Amino acid sequence: MPGTFDTRLQVNKVIQGYTEATVNLGVVNTGVTLTQNYGTVIYAQLTSATVTVFTMPPAVLGKRFTLILTQANTGSATAGTATFTNVRWPNSPGLYNVSTLQLSRDILSFISDGVNWYGIYSVNYSYGVADKAIFGYGAPSGVSNLTNLVSNTGVVATDVTGVGTARQYLAAAGYGVDKAIFGYGFIGGTPYSMTNLVSNTGVVSTDVHWSGYC
């Protein structure tokens, strides 16, 4: 009868191409309580020079989840550290030591036996660092699409021949950890809504046009 079948009795079920729900906790500070209520892949980023205590959810037999933990964008500051309540690590009484490199990522998987959580980890994945800058576009006399790269020591390089529509009074920001985007702007008094993506090596791509406001 439809609606009354207990799916827990199903065995040897084949699941193909499934996706787990994700939750992004953003930057965490001194303490955070983990929950699987909103997803089983949880993202968090540490705060520099801060010990974050991760309180585990109640231990329930068979529960599992993954935490993707990103080190703080520390710059020259001290890395953040992480401790976990009620977790047993490999090589008991082993400990998990968070990767300390700026923006490095650790992947931690947890499974519960109903009493404890058991942690498995792989550490120090590269996640990119945005340590350079780019100036672009603007108006010397007429509008321009020249760019100038800035090294990670603040040295501005000579002009790079422009890509994309020359314009001024635009805006720019970083995205994707180590890339950037120029967007919008004016040519004469007319607003435009195109964008230009910048790769993680500072290469500007051709125009992308959007229907948003200018």
Partner 1 sequence: MAAAGYGTDTAIFGYGNSTVVVSMTNLVSNTGVVATDVTGVGTARQQLAAAGYGGDKAIFGYGFAVALSSLTNLVSNTGVVSTDVTGVGTARNQLAAARYGTDKAIFGYGIVAAVSSLTNLVSNTGVVSTDVTGVGSARRALAAAGYGTGNAIFGYGVTSGVTSLTNLVSNTGVVGTDVTGVGTDRYGLAAASY
Query: Which of 111/187 has CB closer to partner 1?
Result: 187
Query: Which of 37/76 has CB closer to partner 1?
Result: 76
Q: How far is the CB of 85 from partner 1 (least distance, A)?
A: 23
Contact 184, 190 (CB under 8 A): no
Asked if 73 interacts with partner 1 (CB under 8 A), we say: yes
Query: Which of 120/157 has CB closer to partner 1?
Result: 157
Asked if 67 interacts with partner 1 (CB under 8 A), we say: no
Q: How far is the CB of 135 from partner 1 (least distance, A)?
A: 5
Asked if 171 interacts with partner 1 (CB under 8 A), we say: yes
Other beta carbons within 10 angstroms of residue 122's beta carbon come to 10
Q: Quote the strand ranges of 2-127, DSSP E.
A: 22-27, 31-33, 41-45, 51-55, 64-70, 81-84, 87-88, 105-112, 117-125
C-beta pairs of 205-214 under 8 Å, 24+ apart in sequence: 205/163, 205/164, 206/163, 206/164, 207/164, 207/165, 214/184
Asked if 164 interacts with partner 1 (CB under 8 A), we say: no
| End-to-end Cα separation, the chain, in angstroms | 57
Instruction: Retrieve residue 163's tokens.
Output: 């890509």
For residues 129-148, which are near partner 1 according to CB under 8 A? 130-141, 144, 146, 148
Residue 94 to residue 109: CA distance in whole angstroms: 15
- Of the candidates 16, 19, 37, 76, which one interacts with partner 1 according to CB under 8 A? 76
- Of the candidates 21, 51, 120, 214, which one interacts with partner 1 according to CB under 8 A? 214
Residue type for 129, please?
Answer: V
Asked if 188 interacts with partner 1 (CB under 8 A), we say: no
Q: How far is the CB of 89 from partner 1 (least distance, A)?
A: 26
Query: Which of 59/133 has CB closer to partner 1?
Result: 133
Residue 93 to residue 163: CA distance in whole angstroms: 57
Q: By CB under 8 A, how many residues form the interface with partner 1?
A: 71
The residue behind tokens 């108006």 is 139
Q: How far is the CB of 118 from partner 1 (least distance, A)?
A: 27
Residue 91: strand, helix, or coil: coil
Binding mask 23-52 for partner 1 (x = CB under 8 A): -x-xx---------------x-x-xx----
